[in-house]
């Protein structure tokens, strides 16, 4: 039973930072302030019935409290209930776009591979915000990288490359854990193998991945360099066995490569 | 200063709470719980636990299937008979239970169009998807592990199919 409690404890945290309730107090919005204070007391796991009942109580105090809709939407997102999730997250975006529009765009991409919808949300956010639009919810990609991935997924490879490059070259931007890999694969897909290799080399220095070596091996094979292709395959096999792979507990990364594909190189 | 305060107050009024309409909803113990339905479910399907409602991602290991997701995709590629059906576009989710032995049942299906509006897909599509999903036998059991014990548990899994004109374009998660 101890194991169960520990387990539930680990997964009980809310999906993102709670709002600063004093913001509402200073704005004179006492209803949102009270709703916010009440939401701070909710400790249940986001799938639990009581979690939803308590957030309903919060919404009774203030039906315009965007945070509550977003919190309620999360369990539906993670259980694949796109219908209920969309209704709730749309309400959150309608009430507070600053914190929710980019999040909705990210979720459209990550959980439903709704590439066009994600692009619309991220571009809308970009048009409204005069600040860095930031990273997707799990921190894997900057939202502009995610946008580039979405353009790649719908076949607009050059546009995808331009977007990814622009983000990577943005001053003070700290390159993400998978940025060069995704850019490299996009180059690979348009048969620009030199640029693809250059990206994969950079990726290997930042975050070595089996998938990265898989693509390097494929390129060397195309370039008729079987020795290098074999070396890369061996590295890919080792990295895969060491779990140095593209991984997410909820979904699969875009351009994920599986063991069978590496084995059959 | 007064000039600044007036528009600020005016703007903030929009987000004030004037509407007290809320809908009281009844929730299952855990979001997405699937109760036994004698008209749909196998009577011989055994749950190992008491229905704590664990999800496939709760252990941090994600989807665990023999041959990874590639094997799931391969099953649908081999068995699903695509057809040209111009209005059959959107998302279909099949959610089900994997018990502590890796056996599956309690399959439930929902669908939406491309705008997340509820949609009923043609039976020739949904029945095929359900049949193939039920035939998947590679689900790996999940378990809590400590130094002294291993406790296998039942969990919920789902598959989402992106459908374009009756064809599967992607399988998620």
pLDDT in tens, B100-123: 999 999 999 999 999 999 999 999
Question: Number of H helices and number of E strands within chain B?
Answer: 3, 7
B68 contacts A260? CB cut-off 8 A: yes
From A6's Cα to the closest Cα of chain B, the distance in A is 10
In chain B, residues 24-83 whose CB comes closer than 8 Å to chain A: 24-25, 27-32, 52-53, 55, 57-58, 60-63, 67-71
Of B58, B60, B116, the CB nearest to A82: B116
Please report the pLDDT score of residue B147 as a whole number. 85
Q: Which of chain A's residues have a Cβ under 8 Å away from the Cβ of B60?
A: 249
Distance CA A72, CA A39 (A): 11
Q: Which of chain B's residues have a Cβ under 8 Å away from the Cβ of A112?
A: 91, 160, 162, 172
Q: What Å distances lie between residue A211 and A230, A237, B97, CA to CA?
A: 14, 10, 31
Please report the pLDDT score of residue A11 as a whole number. 44
* CB A115 within 8 Å of CB B172: no
pTM of whole model > 0.80? yes
Q: What interface predicted TM-score (ipTM) does this complex get?
A: 0.91
B6: contact with A, CB 8 A cutoff:
no
Distance CA A128, CA A114 (A): 21
From B168's Cα to the closest Cα of chain A, the distance in A is 13
Task: Extract the residue ranges of chain A whose pLDDT is less than 70.
Answer: 1-17
Question: What percent of chain B stands above pLDDT 90?
Answer: 74
B160 contacts A80? CB cut-off 8 A: yes
- At what angle are helices A179-189 and A210-222 packed, to 10 degrees? 30
For residue B173, cis peptide bond before it (omega within 30 degrees of 0): yes
Band the pLDDT of B133: cuts 50, 70, 90: very high
Q: For residue A226, with 0-12 CB atoms within 10 Å meaning exposed, 13-18 middle and 19 or more buried, which class applies?
A: exposed
From B29's Cα to the closest Cα of chain A, the distance in A is 5
Q: What is the mean pLDDT of chain A?
A: 94
Distance CA B116, CA A142 (A): 25
Q: What Å distances lie between residue B21 and A56, A59, A61, CA to CA?
A: 11, 9, 10
Please report the pLDDT score of residue B6 as a whole number. 43
Query: B160 - beta bridge partners?
Result: B93, B172
Please report the pLDDT score of residue B26 as a whole number. 79
Q: What is the mean pLDDT of chain B?
A: 87
Q: If DSSP codes are grouped into helix, strand and coil, which group holds residue B145? A: strand
Structure tokens at A254: 């875009």
For B7-60, what is each residue's pLDDT tens digit?
443 344 444 454 444 444 579 999 999 999 999 999 999 999 876 679 999 999
Please report the pLDDT score of residue B149 as a whole number. 87
Give the Cβ contact number of residue B79 at 10 Å. Answer: 12
CA dihedral A231, A237, A241, A245 (to 10 degrees): 100
Burial code of B112-125, b = ≥16 C-beta within 10 A, e = fewer?
Answer: beeebeebebeeeb
B86 has pLDDT over 90: no
Band the pLDDT of B124: cuts 50, 70, 90: very high
Please report the pLDDT score of residue B113 as a whole number. 97
Question: What percent of chain B stands above pLDDT 70?
Answer: 84
Q: For residue B7, with 0-12 CB atoms within 10 Å meaning exposed, 13-18 middle and 19 or more buried, which class applies?
A: exposed
């Amino acid at each position: 039973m101890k194991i169960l409690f520990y387990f539930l404890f680990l997964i009980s945290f809310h999906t993102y930072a709670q709002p600063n309730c004093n913001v509402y107090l200073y704005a004179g919005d006492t209803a949102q302030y009270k709703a916010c204070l009440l939401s701070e007391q909710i400790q249940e796991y986001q799938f639990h019935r009581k979690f939803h009942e308590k957030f309903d109580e919060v919404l009774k105090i203030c039906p315009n409290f965007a945070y509550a809709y977003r919190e309620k939407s999360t369990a539906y997102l993670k259980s694949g209930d796109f219908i209920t999730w969309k209704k709730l997250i749309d309400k959150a975006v309608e009430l507070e776009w600053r914190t929710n529009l980019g999040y909705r765009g990210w979720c459209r991409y990550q959980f439903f591979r709704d590439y066009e919808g994600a692009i619309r949300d991220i571009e809308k956010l970009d048009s409204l915000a005069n600040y860095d639009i930031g990273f997707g919810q799990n921190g894997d990609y900057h939202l502009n990288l995610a946008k580039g991935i979405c353009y790649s997924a719908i076949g607009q490879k050059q546009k995808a490359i331009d977007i990814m490059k622009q983000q990577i070259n943005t001053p003070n931007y700290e390159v993400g854990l998978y940025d060069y890999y995704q850019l490299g694969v996009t180059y690979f897909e348009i048969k620009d193998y030199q640029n693809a290799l250059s990206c994969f080399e950079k990726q290997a220095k930042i975050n070595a991945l089996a998938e990265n070596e898989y693509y390097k091996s494929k390129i060397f094979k195309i370039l008729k360099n079987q020795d290098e292709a074999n070396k890369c395959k061996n590295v890919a096999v080792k990295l895969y066995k060491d779990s140095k792979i593209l991984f997410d507990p909820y979904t699969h990364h875009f351009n994920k490569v599986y063991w069978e594909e590496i084995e059959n190189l | 200063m007064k000039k600044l305060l007036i528009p600020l107050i005016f703007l903030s009024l929009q987000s004030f709470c004037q509407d007290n309409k809320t809908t009281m909803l009844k929730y299952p113990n855990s979001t997405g719980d699937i109760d036994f339905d004698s008209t749909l479910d196998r009577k011989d399907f055994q749950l190992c636990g008491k229905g704590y409602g664990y999800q496939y991602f709760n252990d941090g290991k994600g989807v665990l299937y023999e041959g990874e997701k590639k094997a799931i995709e391969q099953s649908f590629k081999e068995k699903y008979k695509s057809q040209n059906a111009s209005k059959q576009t959107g998302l279909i989710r099949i959610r089900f239970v994997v018990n502590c032995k890796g056996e599956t049942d309690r399959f439930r299906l929902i669908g939406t169009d491309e705008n997340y509006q509820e949609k009923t897909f043609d039976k020739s599509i949904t029945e095929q998807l359900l049949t193939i999903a039920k035939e998947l036998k590679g689900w790996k059991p999940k378990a809590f592990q400590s130094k002294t014990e291993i406790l296998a548990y039942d969990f919920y899994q789902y598959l989402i199919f992106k459908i374009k004109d009756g064809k599967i374009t992607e399988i998620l998660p």
